Each structure stands twice: as structure tokens, then as C-alpha cells.
Structure 1
Amino acid sequence: MSQNRPRRRVEPQSSKSFSFNLIDPMAKWVNRKLEIDERLSPGTLRKVLWIGLLVTVYIFFQHNFDGLIRRLDRAEKLLNEQRASFISHKSKYLYASKQSEVEKKLQERGFEKNAQPPIKIAFEKP
């Protein structure tokens, strides 16, 4: 009869031929530099790095959003100025194009208002 022997552990083979893991060496490096004995596990470091990335992305988007708000405020101010200028010019144009104003300008240049109504010329077709 054969003896009982402990079974050898079979490592599952990963589908990737090359595993690129930066977290474990980084955790070891941080533990060495900070002189902490395995208190910072790779899982904890992964979470800390993820939170740091999220904070960086949040700050980036917040900064861009503030710049966008400033540009929109400048554009709105410019639009209001141009709208006021347009309304002012339109008002002046409409006032100057009134019949009474046109008559005044023509009298200043020497034109006179016609006192007689226009004459209708009628002729028969042959």
C-alpha cells in the first residue's frame, strides 16, 4: 500500500503570459522608505493611489470648469454690450428715417416740399 502524501498545490495558470504588477513592488518600496514593517499592504496602497487619482481628476475638472465659467461671463458681458449698441443704433436709424426728419434734412439741403399733388397722365392704347 502506498503512503499518504500531501498533495502538491497546483498553481492556476493565468491567461496572461506576462503579468505587470506595480503595486506590490511599490508597496515594498514605500514600506522600506517609511520604515514600516508590512503595515501598508498592496491592497491598501492600491486604494490610496485610486483615491489620489480621483482627487487629482476632480481638481483638474474643477479648475477647467472655473475657467469655463469665467469665459462664459466674459462672453455674456460682451453680448450685452453689443445688444445695447445695436438697440441704440437701431433707435437712431428709426428716428432718422421718420418722414418728418427726412423732410427737415431735405429742407436744410435746399429741397422744397411739393405743394401740388402729382398729375396722372392717362392715354389710350391704340
Structure 2
Amino acid sequence: MIDKIKNVVEDMYEDEAKHLLQSILIQLDVLDGNYSEDMIKNLTSIPKQLTSHTTQEKNLEESTHIHIAFDDSTAGCLKYMLKQEGLHEESVVSYSEFFSIGPIHQLHTNEGQLARAQWL
């Protein structure tokens, strides 16, 4: 598991790693002042979530449809509805609300990121 975590962190973009570290540190700070079992469960689930990311990528490659949501609540509702309907070949991708306006085409490529930066 430790090797998987190292590999996932190594493959992260710098801003993703910073965001993850910031999130963990904030949760630890809150936990220091107010102990919560839920927060402990959340923190201990982070390694599993990180290492399952590659599984999610494989699922996206096998999907027939990919739905894009711009907040976690909408994404959660879509995932639940698709699961209830038995539509396992469809996936949901959640982006930050920051991306709800402007170009997102080919955002995973340098060209797409450049187009986004020029738009901003």
C-alpha cells in the first residue's frame, strides 16, 4: 500500500498535491481541538481513495457515457441515480465550480490547459 501511495503522489500535479496536503492539515488542526470519529474515518480513508483513483480511470475508459458535474453534490446525486438505474457503463466526473464557466475541452492536455489560461 505504501508503494501505491508513493506512486500516486509522484504522479500528481503539484497543485493537486498541495491541495491534498492543505486539506489533511486543516482536518488535523480541527481534529486537535474537537475529536471526531467521523473525521478519523475520513482521514484514514484518504490512502484508499488515492490508490483507487487508477481504478476510476480504467472505469472512465470503459464508459459509454461520461457526465460532467461542477460540484460534489450534483455528482453524488448523478452517481446514485445511475447506480439505481443499473447504468454501470456510465460515469460521472466532478470538477470544481471554478471550471463551470469557460473552456474545458481537452483540459487534460497542455493545449487544453493553455486554451483555458488564455481564456482567463
TM-score bucket of the superposed structures, by smaller chain? under 0.3
> Considering only CA atoms, is the larger Rg found in Structure 1 or Structure 2?
1
More helix by share: 2
Q: What TM-score, normalized by structure 1, do the two folds share?
A: 0.21
More strand by share: 2
Query: Relative CO higher for 1 or 2, CA cutoff 8 Å, sep ≥ 6?
Result: 2
